[in-house]
Structure 1
Amino acid sequence: MGNRQDNVPAKPELASSTVGVGLRPDHYQDVLEHTPSVDFLEVHSENFFAEAGIAVDVLKEVSASTPISLHGTSAGLGSVEAIPDDYLKRLKRLVDRVDPILVSDHLCFTWARIGGRLFHGGDLLPIPYTEDSLRHAANNIDRMQQALGRQIAVENVCAYIEFDHNDFDEAAFLNEIVARTGCGLILDINNVMVNARNARVGDPADFVDDYVASLDHSAIAEIHLAGSTPVDREELLIDDHACPVPEAGWHAYGRVLRKIGPRPTLIEWDNNLPSWRELQGEAIKARKAQRRVLNRERSHEPV
């Protein structure tokens, strides 16, 4: 399989210091009544695949004044099975309707054929980092990019199991995906921290540092921040997006920014939703973290 990145349209320009939040149904009314004080809004693509309806009307009105990022949860870019044609057609229709600043999905397994029928796993299931997985993922990513006529970004996921065999570590696998397809990356810091904590690899902050140092920084199109419900030490930590970003998450974010520079940043909060005001407050914290890094960089510039 050759390098196909030259066939991928250039990625859309998005200012590095932008900050957005996820728009969920609980906050539709807030957004319609008050112009969001964020740079962009992220929505889950599949929730807007219908040709008509309240959700479609809301997105149409909001997207007229606020940039939209489309974040998929069902494409299953790491599946052995190809992404279904019907899924790609619906996504393409949505992309054409919204003209998003970014289209993204997860490096995970969702589609499988059982007894001749295609089934969806209903979750973001991890994949082994093998040559076979690399080939299937690259094929799916390339297929989606060609169907949409634009670059997509691929997000790292949480893995609650460990595979017996891997040919790559996760960062090296992602870098190879970028090299073969020309896609961008979404760096989900909370996912990296959750994996580090569950694997008991030591200090999660150090693990994030090493992970990010190994990535192709030029490919990182967006950073995701989220919080997880605390559990006892012996329990598995789940990436449930049900809490504010923890202090450890903000600390890791600052270290990442100092290493790679500011990137468009999304606050994810999907369960146990806060008020719209509190959610926007999380975005303000991200802006302040970006400013601290930029001010520190300027203070070291030669006069």
Structure 2
Amino acid sequence: MSNRQATAHSNPELKKTAVGVGLRSEHYQNVLEQTPALDFLEVHSENFFADAGIAVDLLQEVSASTPISLHGTSAGLGSVEAVPDDYLKKLKRLVDRVDPILVSDHLCFTWARIGGRLFHGGDLLPIPFTEDSLRHAVNNIDRIQQYLGRQIAIENVCAYIEYDQSDFDEASFLGEIVARTQCGLILDINNLMVNARNGQVSNLENFVDRYVESLDYSAITEIHLAGSTPVGDEELLIDDHARPVSEAGWQIYQRVLNAVGPRPTLIEWDNNLPSWRELLGEASKARKAQRQVLRRERSL
């Protein structure tokens, strides 16, 4: 099956102004008690790989009323090693259960073979933007799309190290992957901001503008927003998803929307979780920003 055949299955499509939040266990009860006023909910795929159990039952119940996005953290699409067969089987079973509106993972390295044994790195490790890395990523994305019979989306990640060798900048690297696999893109704005800050970029707005201008806008299937815990000037900023979206984050989000148009948007908050009400408040801010862009487009 070719790349285009593999992605031909049309999964349910969100409207471009859709807004969702990441569903974590602390908020399960809130969702069960009342269907949220959200367009979709995102869950981490691996948390629902079990054959059965409370979490599996809950997800199937929630998916009956609210579209679900499956976001993986362990496929390791940028690894030299192929995505393991066992992982693919579990993901396919989950996809068949909930019929998600999106399946996605990170463009990172997680799997490695050491002494003949396969190990998982336990983190979203950055990859060098080289021809060799490109080949491995394309092979892994092709494989997972063909196995699932549908398109997936890949997300840009935070990189806390810089490699000596690069054949592409990150945006061009992503563009090559999209062109060769027909996958979608998740544009994580906080990851861009963290990388810019740690890389001592002097003008954040120009950095983001250049990055986004290099992307294929039509491939951007979703935007992610999150907040990071502030640190001192000489400390490394970590993408910990432990705070609300910063004011700078909202400003960059607005710039991105003005450039690419409205896109389904997810609020990520994974640590120091807020109340359900506060999380929905963040989603409302994203919805307001989407509406501002729509009004501007209609006035042109």
The two structures share one fold, judged by TM-score above 0.5:
yes
* Alignment TM-score, normalising by the size of structure 2: 0.98
Aligned to 1:9: 8
- Report the CA distance between 1:6 and its aligned residue: 5.2
Residues 184 and 54 (structure 1), Cα distance of their counterparts in 2 relative to 1, 3 Å cut: same
Residues 255 and 216 (structure 1), Cα distance of their counterparts in 2 relative to 1, 3 Å cut: same
Name the SS of the counterpart of 1:43 in structure 2: strand
Moved more, 12-21 or 222-231: 12-21
Residues 140 and 269 (structure 1), Cα distance of their counterparts in 2 relative to 1, 3 Å cut: same
Distance 1:164 1:241 in 2: 29
Residue segments in structure 1 that go unaligned for 5+ positions in a row: none
Number of equivalent positions? 298
Aligned to 1:238: 238
* Alignment TM-score, normalising by the size of structure 1: 0.97
Distance 1:99 1:150 in 2: 11
Distance 1:105 1:120 in 2: 15
Distance 2:119 2:58 in 1: 30
| CA-based RMSD | 1.0
Distance 2:96 2:285 in 1: 33
Distance 1:124 1:30 in 2: 30
Matches within 5 A, 1:1-303: 4-5=3-4, 7-10=6-9, 12=11, 13-300=13-300
The answer to whether the 8 Å contact 1:43/1:68 transfers is: yes
Query: What is the percent sequence identity of the aligned residues?
Result: 79
Distance 1:267 1:10 in 2: 27
Name the SS of the counterpart of 2:238 in structure 1: coil
Report the residue type matching 1:125 in the other structure. L
The answer to whether the 8 Å contact 1:5/1:179 transfers is: no
Spell out, residue by residue over 1:233-273, the C-alpha distance to the aligned partner (whole angstroms, 9 max, x if none). Answer: 11000000000000000000000001000000000000000
Report the residue type matching 1:207 in the other structure. F
Distance 1:189 1:63 in 2: 27
Name the SS of the counterpart of 1:274 in structure 2: coil
Name the SS of the counterpart of 1:186 in structure 2: strand
Report the residue type matching 2:270 in the other structure. D
Distance 2:146 2:47 in 1: 22
Distance 1:255 1:105 in 2: 25
Spell out, residue by residue over 1:182-219, the C-alpha distance to the aligned partner (whole angstroms, 9 max, x if none). Answer: 10000000000100010012122221111101101010
Spell out, residue by residue over 1:21-75, the C-alpha distance to the aligned partner (whole angstroms, 9 max, x if none). Answer: 0000000011001111111000000000001111111101100100000000000
- Report the CA distance between 1:10 and its aligned residue: 5.0
The answer to whether the 8 Å contact 1:178/1:184 transfers is: yes
The answer to whether the 8 Å contact 1:112/1:121 transfers is: yes
Report the residue type matching 2:87 in the other structure. Y
Report the residue type matching 1:9 in the other structure. A
The answer to whether the 8 Å contact 1:5/1:180 transfers is: no
Name the SS of the counterpart of 1:59 in structure 2: helix
Distance 2:242 2:79 in 1: 27
Name the SS of the counterpart of 2:190 in structure 1: helix
Report the residue type matching 2:119 in the other structure. F
Distance 2:33 2:3 in 1: 44
- Report the CA distance between 1:96 and its aligned residue: 0.2
Distance 1:259 1:283 in 2: 21
The answer to whether the 8 Å contact 1:42/1:71 transfers is: yes
Residues 38 and 28 (structure 1), Cα distance of their counterparts in 2 relative to 1, 3 Å cut: same
Report the residue type matching 2:7 in the other structure. V
- Report the CA distance between 1:7 and its aligned residue: 4.3
Name the SS of the counterpart of 1:172 in structure 2: helix
- Report the CA distance between 1:9 and its aligned residue: 1.7
Distance 2:25 2:35 in 1: 16
The answer to whether the 8 Å contact 2:6/2:145 transfers is: no
Name the SS of the counterpart of 1:200 in structure 2: coil
The answer to whether the 8 Å contact 2:6/2:149 transfers is: no
Name the SS of the counterpart of 1:119 in structure 2: strand
Moved more, 200-209 or 168-177: 200-209
